[in-house]
Amino acid sequence: MSSCWTARRRSSPARMSSTPNTLHVPHALAALEAGLPVVVDKPLAPTAAEAGKLVGEARERNLLLTAFQNRRWDGDFLTVRRLIEDGALGRVHRFESRMDRWRPDLTGAWRERADEAGGLLLDLGTHLVDQALQLFGPAELRHAELDARRAGAKVEDDVFLALEHASGERSHLWMSLVAAQPGPRFRVLGDRAAFVKHGTDPQEEALRAGQSPDEPGFGEEPPERWGLLGAEGATTPVPTAPGDYSAFYAGVAQSLRDGGPPPVDPTDAVEALELLEAARLA
């Protein structure tokens, strides 16, 4: 199997830290020019134009290029996708997705710096827009609110995006670092039923606690955290599908071995970045 380059940097002996967004493109280009397949942490690039340049370079050199959109393998997202595909909700008319955090004080991290292409839009927004596009296909931005609410903040830390998909669904996406009480992770409204899910995927928490993805029960949620499907007064808990970030890496390995498509098509990242740029200009 060919070796594969991933942009990461060590911030201390005890932890790994993502490379700042402004370095994704020069590092990835250097690796491609050296003949290496590349996995780039999200966002693939700070802008859609730069992402397109990476895609073109990889195609010209016939090298794998993919973006680490690991939240495609969140258990709650996999559950939402299954319910939609199975028709349990009927025709979906609104998809609500939130990533709320409570981080009221600045930390000095690079994600708080404009010159490092920080801010929530390229951080959590990359995930939320990608998930919406995966569920419902191409979309246009209808409304955006980007605010820097914390004292001294130089980049957005509280964001709302409204998308309208070509297929008719509307996606309402929230991300915040100043949410003292989080809203539901997902609320999906259809003409037959709704699905409401609170809490976050357990995989990151398990990894921080030292668990390994190959341990029994990894990525599984207990019943008390399952989402509810149905209508008011008549809801049923739905078991959360096990999350599986390892599937991304398995997809990378298979692509390198067999020459098939990568686990995340990098052109998906270009499409998402176009929407994020539109939000910044709105």
Each domain of the chain, given as residue ranges in start order, spans: 5-69+246-266, 71-238
The H-assigned helical ranges of the chain are 24-33, 48-61, 75-86, 124-136, 203-208, 246-258, 266-281
- CATH code at 5-69+246-266: 3.40.50.720
DSSP letter (8 states) at residue 102? B
Residue-wise DSSP of 24-57 = HHHHHHHHHHTT--EEEESSS-SSHHHHHHHHHH
The H-assigned helical ranges of 62-202 are 75-86, 124-136
Residue 130, both tokens: 């990608």
pLDDT of amino acid 18: 79
Give, in degrees to the nearest 5, the angle at Cα 92 between 86 and 95.
110
Give residues with Cβ within 8 angstroms of 114, minimum separation 6. 154, 155
Residue with tokens 């932890």: 15
Report d(CA 163, CA 95) in Å as an integer.
10
pLDDT of amino acid 8: 46
Per-residue pLDDT of the chain (282 residues; tens, 9 = 90+): 345 555 444 333 334 467 899 999 999 999 999 999 999 999 999 999 999 999 999 999 999 999 999 999 999 999 999 999 999 999 999 999 999 999 999 999 999 999 999 999 999 999 999 999 999 999 999 999 999 999 999 999 999 999 999 999 999 999 999 999 999 999 999 999 999 999 999 999 999 999 999 999 999 999 999 999 999 989 999 999 999 999 999 999 999 999 999 999 999 999 999 999 999 998
Residue whose C-alpha is closest to residue 87's, from 229, 224, 240, 280: 229
CA dist list (Å): 254 to 171, 226, 263: 32, 32, 9
- β-strand pairing of 92-100 with 65-68: unpaired
Q: What is the pTM of this model?
A: 0.93
Architecture in CATH of 71-238: 2-Layer Sandwich (3.30)
Report d(CA 155, CA 168) in Å as an integer.
32
Report d(CA 124, CA 11) in Å as an integer.
21
pLDDT of amino acid 13: 33
End-to-end CA distance of the chain: 45
CA 47 to chain centre: 16
